[in-house]
Chain A
Amino acid sequence: MFLSLSLEDIENIIRPLSADHTPHTKLICLENTQLEAGGVSLSAEYIDSVGALAKKHGLKLHIDGARIFHAAIEQKTTVKELVKSADSIAVCLSKGLCAPAGSLLLGSKEFISEARQKRQIVGGELKQAGVLAAAGRIALHKMSQGLKEDHQNATLLAALLKKCTFIDRVTSATNVVSFHLTPEAEPIRDFIESRCSRGGNKTESLRMFTHFSIAEGDIRTIVDTYNKLELKGKRKRQSSIE
């Protein structure tokens, strides 16, 4: 499952300035945690190695750190450590942190002053955004702590889902649980799908998130409901056969 990192792939795709007919590569983007891969987190070592590669080729490194606090917890490190070789980072204050809106873009002073201009260009200036920033501060300082609880809940959810006969290929990382339905789940497919979001475009997997509004009891309740409905469907089918 865990394949080796292919920095090679990155290196192969970099188009040097000497190539006249191809667009010159300027940037490498990483996503941490990588949602479509099931919420897996990247280690600081890997990011640093990509950072070194970028430097070697004169590229910048940007990290889409929408869920970077989750990554920091799983990697048992700090966000600072995870982004030290990045030139810029985008951090979402909503995802998992409950802020109603807003992200933060971080980088050098020059980068930020340019970013301020570009934000204006894309229509991103907000008047009276202090109300959003106020919630954002709480997200940044308070809600970023204790995400471990969500990870534990995700592990619990994965463990409970694994016991269901109509669900297979359950994986969990950080606050994301991914799984597939077996044909057995057909009668309750709609119900389960309404409780999940769709996985990546490569697979047919379903995804469930744990977050601040999901407590341990909710997880037991939802899996219980899945099981009960499935059992009910089974009985119904049996009685109709009889």
Chain B
Amino acid sequence: MALLFLTEVLHLHFPITSLNLNKQTRGFELKLPGQGVVESLHLIAKIVRNNSITSLQLMGNKIGDEGAAMIAEALRVNSSLTALNLASTGLGDEGAAGIASALYFNSSLSDLALERNNIGDEGAAMFATLLHVNSSLASLSLMNQRTLGDEAAILRNQRPNLAEIPQAKEEGTPTRPRKEAVGKMNFTTDAAIWSTEEMRKSMMTVTSEADVINRLEQEAAEMFGKEASLFVSSSQGNLVALLVHVGEGEGAILGDISRCIRTEARAAAVIGRITPQTVAVQPDGRY
């Protein structure tokens, strides 16, 4: 607290550029003599508003949502701060949302650390939205949130390149949702399992059939590094490929226990008049 008191005196006379109040030692309290944590934050907020500070470290001080709101308020008018560390400060969704909305006005902050708080989906979603308009933030850490869900996982995965979050989100961010439908316990197959809620929703909102198929085919071709792609029904994939590659009476080498043989090549033999030439599959799956 002596440090902070000193700070109060100093900042009147010298511009403060970096303030490290990380709670590293036991017994250190972010408090002015005779005041609570939140009151002490008024001073810090004031320093932030002064526009000289570039780095503010408050890790470990339990400033909570109320404290975060004050910092956020000051952030709106600040244009000097580049690094802000609010890790382990007891931030919840509300506090996170406050900081996120400050990013709408702030264009200097590039490094924001919010690890080990209680930020949930709501707070993380706020960041995802605000990052559409903020371009200065380059690093955002939301690791180890007690209440973190899917929404935050999106941000977490994209951490190295935050500017791309909104775009990725639009395109359907590649993050598998959490396990659902626990208790159905069908271990007999991994194919005839239930489609996800999201799939059923997207199926209901299809407006142009051809567009969706084209997009799927294009995206798949890109993903697999091939020129083109074709959407087929499940067992037709192999059959059609065999029909294209192998003419009537010609041979195709297949593993003796491959699906092509056991469930599908009969079709290739019947329809395509293809001669299956089988090789024994080793226990490691190779021929």
Q: Chain A: residues with CB nearer than 8 A to chain B? A: 1-7, 9-10, 13-15, 22-38, 40-42, 46, 50, 59-60, 62, 64, 66-67, 79-80, 83-84, 87-92, 94-96, 98-109, 111-116, 118-119, 121-122, 124, 126-147, 149-150, 175, 195-197, 200-202, 208-215, 217-218, 221-222
Interface residue tally of chain B, by bracket?
Answer: 35 or more
CB-CB under 8 A from A116, the residues of chain B are 230
Q: Are A210 and B240 in contact (CB under 8 A)?
A: no
A-B contact count (CB 8 A): 359
Q: Are A5 and B287 in contact (CB under 8 A)?
A: yes
Does B281 belong to the interface (CB within 8 Å)?
Answer: yes
17 CB-based A-B contacts, threshold 8 Å = A5-B287, A25-B250, A42-B285, A64-B259, A83-B224, A103-B231, A104-B216, A131-B203, A133-B231, A146-B175, A201-B257, A211-B193, A212-B196, A214-B185, A214-B187, A218-B183, A221-B185
CB-CB under 8 A from A96, the residues of chain B are 190-191
Give chain A's interface secondary structure class. mixed
CB-CB under 8 A from B223, the residues of chain A are 79-80, 140
Does B220 belong to the interface (CB within 8 Å)?
Answer: yes
Residue of A nearest to B281 (CB): A37
Given A34-B258, A42-B286, is A141 in contact with B184 using a C-beta cutoff of 8 Å?
no
Given A14-B253, A80-B224, A145-B175, is A33 in contact with B219 using a C-beta cutoff of 8 Å?
no
Residue of B nearest to A157 (CB): B187
User: CA separation between A129 and B203, bound complex, in Å?
Assistant: 10
User: CA separation between A147 and B229, bound complex, in Å?
Assistant: 23
Does B136 belong to the interface (CB within 8 Å)?
Answer: no
Given A115-B230, A140-B219, is A105 in contact with B196 using a C-beta cutoff of 8 Å?
no
For window 93-139 of chain B, which residues contact chain A by CB distance below 8 Å?
A: none
CB-CB under 8 A from B284, the residues of chain A are 1-3, 5, 37, 40
Residue of B nearest to A148 (CB): B176
Q: Which of B247, B262, B284 has most chain A Cβ within 10 Å?
A: B284
Does B283 belong to the interface (CB within 8 Å)?
Answer: yes
Q: Which of A108, A195, A208 contacts B226 (CB 8 A)?
A: A108
Q: Are A131 and B193 in contact (CB under 8 A)?
A: no
Q: Are A98 and B189 in contact (CB under 8 A)?
A: no
Q: Which of B188, B241, B271 has most chain A Cβ within 10 Å?
A: B241
Identify which of B36-44, B54-62, B206-214 touches chain A: B206-214
Residue of A nearest to B210 (CB): A130
User: CA separation between A4 and B182, bound complex, in Å?
Assistant: 40
Given A1-B284, A37-B257, A98-B199, is A91 in contact with B237 using a C-beta cutoff of 8 Å?
yes
Identify which of B6-14, B79-87, B272-280 touches chain A: B272-280
Given A34-B258, A208-B187, A213-B184, is A23 in contact with B250 using a C-beta cutoff of 8 Å?
yes
CB-CB under 8 A from B243, the residues of chain A are 118, 121-122
Q: Which of B200, B237, B246, B282 contacts A90 (CB 8 A)?
A: B237
Does B215 belong to the interface (CB within 8 Å)?
Answer: yes
CB-CB under 8 A from B257, the residues of chain A are 34, 36-37, 200-202
What distance in Å separates the Cβ of B248 from its nearest Cβ neighbour in chain A?
Answer: 9
CB-CB under 8 A from B227, the residues of chain A are 107-109, 112
